């Protein structure tokens, strides 16, 4: 099992708010790997909406996304694409 990690910017105007967190949780639950999001002070697993909201990640903040497990590479790529696309929201 490998641990992969990538640093990303939160681009969307509202940051990691409820709708974005739900999209991230739904995506994370489609993978076996454990996905963790960290903002330097706090971290949360990507399968917990409440945990993600507690990160209070705003637009322009950097987050560290880590994935560990059998499909870590695919999970990290998919989560990175979602975050980098601004959670498919209008910015």
- Is 87 catalytic? The answer is no
Q: How far is CA 45 from CA 13, 26, 89, in A?
A: 22, 12, 22
Catalytic residue among 17, 39, 47, 48, which? 17
The closest alpha carbon to 34, from 22, 44, 42, belongs to 44
Strand partners, 34: 68
Which residues does the annotation mark as catalytic? Answer: 17
């Amino acid at each position: 099992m490998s641990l992969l990690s990538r640093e990303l910017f939160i681009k969307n105007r509202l940051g990691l708010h409820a709708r974005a967190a739900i999209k991230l949780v739904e995506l994370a639950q489609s993978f076996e790997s454990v996905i963790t999001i960290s903002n330097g002070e706090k971290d949360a697993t990507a399968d917990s909406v409440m945990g993600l909201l507690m990160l209070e990640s705003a637009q322009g903040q950097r987050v560290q996304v880590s994935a560990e497990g059998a499909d870590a590479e695919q999970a990290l790529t998919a989560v990175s694409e979602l975050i980098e696309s601004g959670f498919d929201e209008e910015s």
